[in-house]
């Protein structure tokens, strides 16, 4: 493997369409910047099931473990809805996350000025917003034991268990502090230490990690319910928010929608550092395979393009190039280009997936 190895898994539905636009940017880096990625492409999801009878072949899993970063499009579609649970397209994605032990899920909420009117909040509350939610992804109440539905006397009882070890909290806290150092240098940790012992431990461990190794980063704590309120009231007060699996699930969805369309939202999931010092990493748009628009050239490729920008920043230490890609996206939006999901203003004709990708590449050219 070379230094910049990337496994691309376009997946199903609009996955291959949006990934084709990222390939244009990867090619641009090769021809215009002399940055060559060692790209391998493979199957995941329904298309892998069609070919191999499994949504993620063992060989593909092995490749994912060996590369510097994995970039995934989307999986799923109505054709696969009636498959057995064990071979559903989503199982391929879950296997990747589990076997790569991707414990930190990064969900940025970034509002491009040109799209501030799309938010359900007032323009001045969201314009220029740039926050990052770090959600613990592999532990907590979605995994804790005991769990199940049990008989208790004459009725049933449903049980899930919130459980966090110190080391699980410590590693996600470290991920958040490291990220903050590459951004606005502020972390707000959210839990419910007022009513949950796991929250008390969470607050203690985050505080200890901070004092020991990250005293240069500004740290604050907030109860997660108050945090939800503050996210709607004045989200720009935050830089990095670190929280557990359940609260992160809710808070990251709420924060994401501050910024408008699903077609705009990237994500990253990071694991432990590899021998290279880089974290194991999977980058993917938040949206699914959008079967309702697949094959029509209507998909917005920006979420996938911004996921690639995250890979540049967090896997390849190319923060300035990540800025360049994000600025190119900002420019095409400021120029008025809109895919169909971003329509709202009168008199705007939507551009196709390919036209949006070409415009981003042209904006990259203009940045040189």
Q: Residue ranges for the binding site for NAD(+)?
A: 77-90, 288-300
Contact range with ligand NAD by CB under 6 A, out of 30-38, 108-116, 237-245, 296-304: 296-304
Contact range with ligand NAD by CB under 6 A, out of 72-80, 130-138, 226-234, 269-277: 72-80
DSSP state at residue 264: G
Residue with smaller CB distance to ligand NAD, 227 or 288: 288
For position 50 contacting ligand NAD by CB under 6 A, the verdict is no
Would residue 68 show up in a list of annotated catalytic residues for this protein? no
DSSP state at residue 1: -
For position 70 contacting ligand NAD by CB under 6 A, the verdict is no
State which of positions 250-269 bind ligand NAD (CB under 6 A): 262-263
Given 49, 63, 164, 192, the catalytic residue: 192
CA trace torsion 249, 304, 274, 39 (10° rounding): 160
Contact range with ligand NAD by CB under 6 A, out of 22-30, 103-111, 166-174, 283-291: 283-291
For position 282 contacting ligand NAD by CB under 6 A, the verdict is no
Would residue 225 show up in a list of annotated catalytic residues for this protein? yes
> Of the candidates 48, 115, 293, 309, which one interacts with ligand NAD according to CB under 6 A?
293
Report residue 221 as tokens: 């704590």
Residues in the chain: 368
Residue with smaller CB distance to ligand NAD, 248 or 263: 263
DSSP state at residue 239: S
Given 24, 130, 142, 182, the catalytic residue: 142
Would residue 124 show up in a list of annotated catalytic residues for this protein? no
Nearest to 340 by CA among 352, 323, 328: 352
168 near 103, Cβ under 8 Å?
yes
For position 299 contacting ligand NAD by CB under 6 A, the verdict is yes
Instruction: Report the alpha-carbon distance of residue 66 to residue 99 in Å, rounded.
Output: 12
Phi/psi for 333 (5° steps) reads: -70, -40
Residue with smaller CB distance to ligand NAD, 91 or 171: 91
CA trace torsion 76, 81, 85, 88 (10° rounding): -20
Phi/psi for 304 (5° steps) reads: -75, -40
Would residue 130 show up in a list of annotated catalytic residues for this protein? no
For position 287 contacting ligand NAD by CB under 6 A, the verdict is yes
Secondary structure in 3-state letters for 294-333: CCCCCCCCHHHHHHHHHHHHHCCCCHHHHHHHHHHHHHHH
Phi-psi region at 235: left, alpha or beta (left = phi > 0; alpha = psi -120 to 50): alpha
Given 12, 42, 68, 249, the catalytic residue: 249
At residue 163, the 3 state secondary structure works out as: coil
For position 76 contacting ligand NAD by CB under 6 A, the verdict is yes
Nearest to 9 by CA among 128, 116, 86, 96: 96
Residue with smaller CB distance to ligand NAD, 14 or 361: 14
> Of the candidates 303, 325, 333, 364, which one interacts with ligand NAD according to CB under 6 A?
303
Binding residues for ligand NAD, rule: CB under 6 A, are 14, 18, 74-77, 90, 93, 262-263, 284, 287-293, 299-300, 303, 341
Q: Catalytic site residues?
A: 142, 192, 225, 249, 253
């Amino acid at each position: 493997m070379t230094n910049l190895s990337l496994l691309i898994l376009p997946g199903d539905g609009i996955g291959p369409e949006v990934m084709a636009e990222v390939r244009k940017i990867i090619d641009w880096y090769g021809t215009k910047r002399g940055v060559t990625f060692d790209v391998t492409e493979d199957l995941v999801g329904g298309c892998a099931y069609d070919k191999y009878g499994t949504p993620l072949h063992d060989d593909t899993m092995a490749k994912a473990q060996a590369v510097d970063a994995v970039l995934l499009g989307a999986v799923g579609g109505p054709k696969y809805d009636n498959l057995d649970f064990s071979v559903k397209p989503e199982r391929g994605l879950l296997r990747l996350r589990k076997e790569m032990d991707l414990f930190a899920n990064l969900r940025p909420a970034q509002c491009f000025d040109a799209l501030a009117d799309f938010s359900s909040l007032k323009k001045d509350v969201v314009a220029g917003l740039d926050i990052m939610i770090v959600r613990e992804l592999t532990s907590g109440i979605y995994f804790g034991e005991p769990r199940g539905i049990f008989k208790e006397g004459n009725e049933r009882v449903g049980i899930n268990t919130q459980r966090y070890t110190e080391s699980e909290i410590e590693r996600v806290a470290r991920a958040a502090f490291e990220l903050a150092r590459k951004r606005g240098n502020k972390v707000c940790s959210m839990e419910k230490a007022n009513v949950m012992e796991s929250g008390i431990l969470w607050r203690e461990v985050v505080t200890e990690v901070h004092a020991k190794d990250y005293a240069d980063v500004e740290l604050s704590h907030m109860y997660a319910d108050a945090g939800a309120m503050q996210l709607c009231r004045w989200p720009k007060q935050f830089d990095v928010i670190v929280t557990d699996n359940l609260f992160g699930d809710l808070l990251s969805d709420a924060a994401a929608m501050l910024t408008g369309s699903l077609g705009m939202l990237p994500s990253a999931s990071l694991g432990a550092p590899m021998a290279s010092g880089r974290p194991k990493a999977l980058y993917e748009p938040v949206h699914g395979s959008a079967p309702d628009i697949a094959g029509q050239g209507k998909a917005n490729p920006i979420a996938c393009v911004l996921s690639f920008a995250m890979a540049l920043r967090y896997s390849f230490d190319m923060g300035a190039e990540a800025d360049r890609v994000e600025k190119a996206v900002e420019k095409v939006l400021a120029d008025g280009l809109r895919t169909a999901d971003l329509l709202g203003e009168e008199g705007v004709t939507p551009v196709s997936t390919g036209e949006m990708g070409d415009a981003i590449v042209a904006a990259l050219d203009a940045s040189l």
